[in-house]
Amino acid sequence: MTPERWQEVRSLFDRALDMPAEDRSAFLDEACKGDHDLREQVESLLSADNEPADVFGSSFENVADALAPGDIGGKIGPYRIIKRIGRGGMGVVYLAHDDRLGRDVALKFIPVHLSEDEGARKRLIAEARAVSVLDHPHICTIYDIGEAPDGRTYIAMAYYEGETLRSRLERRRLPTDEALEIAAQLASALEAAHARGIVHRDIKPGNVLLASSTSGSAGYSVKLLDFGLAKMADHDLTRTGMAMGTVAYMSPEQADGQVVGPPSDLWSLGVMLYEMLTGERPFKGERGPIIIYAILNKDHKPAAEVDPEVGPVLSATIDRALSKNSEQRYGTAAAFARALTESQTAGHATQTQDSTRASGVARRIHRRLGVGILVLICVIIGAVWFSTKEPNIDVAHGSKASVAVMPFVSSTPSDSLEYLGAALTEELVDALSAAGFDPPPLPSFTGAGTADSTMVRAALAAGAERLVVGNLRQDGSRLRLQLRLLQSADGDELWADSLDHPVQEVLALRDELVKTVSRQLTQNRVEAISNTTPPTVSDEAYLLYFKGRYFWNKRTREGLERSIDYFRQALDIDPTYARAWAGMGDSYVLLGNWGFLSPEQAYPRGRAALETALDLEPNLAEAHTALAFALKDYFWEWEKAEYHFKKAVELQPDNATAHHQYALEFLAVMGRYDEALEEVETALTLDPLSLMIAADAGRAHSMAGRPDVAIERLESVLDIDSTFFPAKLFLGVAYVQAGMHDEAIATIQQAAEWSQDDVGPSANTQAYLALALARAGRHGEARDVLERLKAMSEKRFVMAYWIAIAHMALGETDETFRYLERSFERREPVLIYLKEGRVLDSIRTDPRATELLTRMGLN
């Protein structure tokens, strides 16, 4: 697959992934336009993604290699290729026919992208040699190893008719006797392998074949497949820290990247037996890193609590296999098999004694949604700096120094340097904040490496006496950061220095930056600043995270979607990177909050990521804020939402964003206007240059029924930036409240033009425009806007709430509540405004409104 082709496949996959499953087929019909190979490749990726966290560490590139077409119908050595039948632990598997011996075989090829990797070839050969010496009825037979003319290495294995255990489990859980028989056969296979010093390392249902057989009551014989991760004991062909295998079945030591031995295989067998008996896995989650965290840190629910028919003896046997300490598991596979036999005997005895009551027991399978959630900082638009500072350190000598950090820029245009410049700027702001300097968040400037008048005025307005400016450039394999400390009053240079590091050592550059600047500001705080711990140990993950932040800050649909991709890549490298989990969760919450993604697609994913972030770093303030958004917007868990808003303020009392979001996104919508106005004014005092906070201060007055004050505040924001969309839209709504219909129509129309994309203007602008037109008596034009809004909803997701607003404007109350009911069913985030939003005053006394609010838990 060429790089260009892969980019096309990946782009379509990303777009298809973020739409409802039922819409994907029509999308691919249009996008692939008869290119059947392209469609097959995208659908294969989607199919792989639907298997939750099934392969740890598998990148899209690995999947793309697996999709590369084989030589169907051709011949490789004595083998004639018939068809592709699957993908094993280390390559693509084909059905072939051995013309010499007249038998079918399974040929497994090393992936193309690993064809030149000597280590991968060694592992494949080791697999063949290791397994070929095992003559066991429950281990797949190896016939041959060879090399194709194009250099690809292959292994010829016995071909069996049948289905995998994974396929069987997708249809139903297994009866106890059948599950125990499968486990016993697998234990026998593992005992033989372990006796030869072979550890499978990848025990999972997909590697267990139920091969058709005339012997045995079940009609099949168990075959353990794919020793693709097999490792000869004491013969290290894989790096110790390499996390390979399938996440859900990994032992704690394997998930932690440690050396594994036979106990690891017994853990995996225990996980499979748990799943066969209960229909659930003991450790669950939406993504691989979530499962890894559970394996390493959380206790599983005993199988008997999930399904009482498992019985306490068998449940205890499984519990021992799932001991996190490998020394507490069974010493051998044979010992595990004996324990299973004993538990089966005990279970039968108990069943006989209790048969009269057991026959009526209903099966209970508890499925838990592995949700967790992540960050959200702005509800409508606007660039607000994301601060993750520690609590302020009490400064013993003198008052807090006032210093502002200007966004670092690059003298040579480069996306990579732009991301890195943003990262280093934010890291320095966080470090200085942690030491009590409280640098104000400042807007981005072009030419920030010079003391122009705009920069100086901004710094003075924020009370900053000094400015730190930086210019970043790359010279070959070196990164160079030129730093300057300027006097904000007159732009005089107080100090300058240059930092130089290899391009791959960005964390080292970060550390030196923090230490160097701290020394210049005050020797007394060097220790406090320089001890800030990097959020990750991986330079690559660090850069990927800030690439995600860069696109997150764009606050567009495409930007948020791209940010999620970068956050995912960072987590693939470091699944313990809490800020990356927070960033991904926040992006999903924003996609849902702004109507770019349906709520049921956005918020559960966001919550899962955010709760993972807080599991990893409980005091991550931005994760608390974003989780509060999700709990408020979609899950309607009001007390929990307020707890997390308040927790963010408690963790960062000098963080303007925390006060801002608590004010507008909880207190105001709950009708607690005095508290909301106090909080938003606190936020504005902490960050006087934030246009978003200033605009929301105006919106708070509008929500409190003070449109005159709102208009004054919002017009002041537009005096600073006449193109700031949130202020323009909020002003239009305030004009509607004040009865200034002509001004409202003109203002909202301009906001609508700014929001225009290939489908049309944003839905909220159209709803408010219909409202303004109807209030002005221009009902025909309001009707046209309503129809346009409905037409848009056929081309992209449009919240039903906005259509309800347009119907309400036209006095169509029944239609209004029909769409509000749809909004309720979707759990749209804006439906909360039914409680206090001034726009809906005319229908709030309707009993249907009261009933909706009661169902939301808001009455």
Q: What is the CATH number of the domain that holds 137?
A: 3.30.200.20
pTM, to two decimals: 0.52
Q: What is the CATH number of the domain that holds 352?
A: 1.10.510.10
**What average pLDDT does this structure show over 202-220?**
79
pLDDT band at 317 (very low <50, low <70, confident <90, very high): very high
373 pLDDT above the threshold of 70: no
**What average pLDDT does this structure show over 521-545?**
68
**What average pLDDT does this structure show over 591-618?**
88
303 lies in a domain?
yes
- Asked whether residue 314 falls in the same domain as residue 446, the answer is no
673 lies in a domain?
no
Most confident residue range from 225-239, 545-559, 715-729: 715-729
746 pLDDT above the threshold of 90: yes
Q: Which of residues 33, 50, 67 is at a domain's end? A: 50
Q: What is the pLDDT of residue 379?
A: 24
Q: Which of residues 534, 558, 582 is at a domain's end? A: 534
57 lies in a domain?
no
**What average pLDDT does this structure show over 720-743?**
93
- Asked whether residue 154 falls in the same domain as residue 182, the answer is no
**What average pLDDT does this structure show over 604-608?**
89
pLDDT band at 816 (very low <50, low <70, confident <90, very high): very high
Distance CA 187, CA 164 (A): 17
Q: What is the CATH number of the domain that holds 455?
A: 3.40.50.10070
563 pLDDT above the threshold of 80: yes
- Asked whether residue 216 falls in the same domain as residue 323, the answer is yes
769 lies in a domain?
no
More confident residue, 419 or 353: 419
- Asked whether residue 326 falls in the same domain as residue 180, the answer is yes
- Asked whether residue 503 falls in the same domain as residue 407, the answer is yes
Count: domains in the chain: 4
Amino acid at 163: E
pLDDT band at 573 (very low <50, low <70, confident <90, very high): confident
Name the average pLDDT for the chain.
Answer: 78
Q: Range with the lowest mean pLDDT among 250-254, 286-290, 315-319? A: 286-290
**Which residues does 766 contact at the CB level (< 8 Å), separation at least 6?**
752, 760, 785, 788, 789, 792, 802, 806
Distance CA 120, CA 98 (A): 26
Q: What is the pLDDT of residue 533?
A: 63
380 lies in a domain?
no
**What average pLDDT does this structure show over 182-201?**
88
DSSP 288-337: HHHHHHHHHH-PPPPHHHH-GGG-HHHHHHHHHHT-SSGGGS-SSHHHHH
**What average pLDDT does this structure show over 544-557?**
83
What's the token pair of residue 544? 């990927």
415 lies in a domain?
yes
pLDDT band at 69 (very low <50, low <70, confident <90, very high): very low
Q: Range with the lowest mean pLDDT among 428-442, 504-518, 570-584? A: 428-442
Share of the chain above pLDDT 70, in %: 75
Q: What is the pLDDT of residue 470?
A: 87
253: domain range?
173-225+234-357
Q: Range with the lowest mean pLDDT among 70-79, 246-255, 366-375, 703-712? A: 366-375
520 lies in a domain?
yes
Q: What is the dihedral of CA 272, 274, 278, 279, to 10 degrees?
A: -20
665 pLDDT above the threshold of 60: yes
Q: What is the pLDDT of residue 480?
A: 87
216 pLDDT above the threshold of 80: no
64 pLDDT above the threshold of 70: no
Q: What is the pLDDT of residue 233?
A: 35
More confident residue, 529 or 626: 626
Q: What is the pLDDT of residue 507?
A: 81
- Asked whether residue 440 falls in the same domain as residue 526, the answer is yes
Q: Range with the lowest mean pLDDT among 230-234, 263-267, 514-518? A: 230-234
- Asked whether residue 207 falls in the same domain as residue 294, the answer is yes
- Asked whether residue 206 falls in the same domain as residue 334, the answer is yes
Report CA-CA distances (Å) from 9 to 14, 57, 591, 598, 767. Answer: 9, 19, 23, 24, 37
35 pLDDT above the threshold of 90: no
Catalytic residues: 202
293 lies in a domain?
yes
pLDDT band at 77 (very low <50, low <70, confident <90, very high): confident
Q: What is the pLDDT of residue 400?
A: 42
217 pLDDT above the threshold of 80: no
Share of the chain above pLDDT 90, in %: 34
Distance CA 587, CA 582 (A): 9
- Asked whether residue 213 falls in the same domain as residue 318, the answer is yes
619-633 as b/e: b if 16+ CB within 10 A: bbbbbbbbbbbbbbb
Residues 760, 788: contact at Cβ < 8 Å?
Answer: yes
pLDDT band at 274 (very low <50, low <70, confident <90, very high): very high
| β-bridge partners, 481 | 472, 499
